[in-house]
Chains A and B, each alone.
Chain A
Amino acid sequence: MEPLMYIQAVPADTTTASTPYDSVWAGTEEVPVKEPVGLERVMLQQDKIYVVLGVVLLIWIGLAYLLLRNDRRLKRLEEQLQAPD
């Protein structure tokens, strides 16, 4: 039976699967390691801990958004309850 949906093929580039910062890469020295470029230069440092930081920051942004939404509602209520001058 034909599958309903195929996963899109990831362009093969195994040379960067292990980075210079990788602490547990068990491969031999023949594997060429490509220097990461751009954002990856930052995100792959320190065993990728900055990826975790990014995830936590995204959640913080989402919670801040909810906080601001609640604030807007509260402001509308306050304006309606304001005593007329």
Chain B
Amino acid sequence: MSMEPQVFAPPKTKPLPGFQPKRYTLVRNVVLGGLTGVLLGGFLLDIPRINILEHTARNLYFHVPMWFTMMAAFAVSAYHGAGYLRTSDPVRDLRSAEAARVGLVFGVLGLVTGMLWARFTWYVGTGLWWNFDPKQTLAAISLLIYGAYFALRSSLEDPRKRARLASVYNLFAASTVPFLLYIIPRQLESLHPGADGNPAFSDITHPTMRFILYPAFIFFIGLFWVIYTQRVRLAWTQRQLDEDEAWEETW
């Protein structure tokens, strides 16, 4: 009886449905170049110097896009969450979770950059890092709501149940974002622009800053898309390896 030499055959995995490598590479390169430009322009472009604000006005290019990126990410997450409920396609669940995860990181960055900015601009001499400003507090609450999304996910073993419940919760979480970040802070007294008694963005921002700010929105959201796509590809391949033959049965 002859022994066949053992040949290692790695399990075959399918590529991520809908993934277009050429488009991904193009977007990635444009985003990397664009963000380099935003950094250069953000520091080099001359802006009018305002008392108290001084150079920290440049934080507008970095702090505000964090929140816009987070909202874009959470919108993508809710879209795929709703898509999962409609189609029961496991990829939609993966996309929903990864968009929320990357979005949460951007949200945390928005919060800590805001803390640093306020500490050395409006809270100079007070030593305050956190002042329970309504904008600050409600933004932190919206991050906690999304933190609970991941707590919910990790508490459920059955992938189908997890995907379904997480998608429903995701829709609830997304519906709170406009209220927590826009509607309620506008009714309250706050140091943050756009709140009650404070001018909104368009009244106080010098036109030249828009040449950097608007590209910053686009390229940071592009950066989200690149990282999110990487993570979905990884998660999709991982899921197939984990489940292997049991894949079809599980779903």
A residues with CB within 8 A of B: 3-8, 10-11, 13, 15-19, 22-26, 34, 36, 39-40, 43-44, 46-49, 51-52, 54-56, 58-59, 62-63, 65-66, 69-70, 73-74, 76-77, 80-81, 83-84
Check if A55 sits within 8 Å of B117, measured CB to CB. yes
Check if B106 sits within 8 Å of A70, measured CB to CB. no
B74 CB, min distance to chain A CBs, angstroms = 16
Measured CA separation A11–B37 after assembly (Å): 40
Task: Given A3-B189, A7-B133, A73-B231, output 12 extra A-B contacts at Cβ < 8 Å.
Answer: A5-B137, A13-B126, A26-B51, A36-B125, A40-B125, A48-B121, A55-B62, A62-B109, A63-B223, A70-B234, A77-B241, A81-B241
CB-defined A-B contacts under 8 Å, sample of 13? A6-B189, A7-B189, A10-B131, A18-B52, A19-B124, A34-B125, A43-B120, A48-B55, A48-B120, A51-B59, A51-B120, A66-B105, A77-B241
Measured CA separation A51–B49 after assembly (Å): 15
Q: Which residues of B contact A65 (CB under 8 A)?
A: 105
Chain B interfacial residues counted at CB < 8 A: 55
9 tightest A-B CB contacts, nearest first: A16-B125, A83-B8, A47-B54, A13-B125, A48-B54, A49-B55, A43-B120, A62-B109, A73-B234
Residue in A closest to B9 when the chains form the complex, CB atoms: A83
B186 CB, min distance to chain A CBs, angstroms = 12
Check if B234 sits within 8 Å of A23, measured CB to CB. no
B208 at the A/B interface (Cβ < 8 Å)?
no
Q: How many A-B residue pairs have CB under 8 A?
A: 131
Majority SS at the chain B contact face: helix
Q: Which residues of A contact B39 (CB under 8 A)?
A: 56
A77 CB, min distance to chain B CBs, angstroms = 6
B residues with CB within 8 A of A: 6, 8, 10-11, 39, 42-43, 49-52, 54-56, 58-59, 62-63, 66, 102, 105-106, 108-109, 112-113, 116-117, 120-126, 128, 131-134, 137, 187-191, 223, 227, 230-231, 234-235, 237-238, 241
Q: Which of A10, A19, A39 has the most CB of B within 10 A?
A: A10
Q: Which of B52, B113, B125, B235 has the most CB of A within 10 A?
A: B125
Check if B62 sits within 8 Å of A59, measured CB to CB. yes
Measured CA separation A22–B191 after assembly (Å): 21
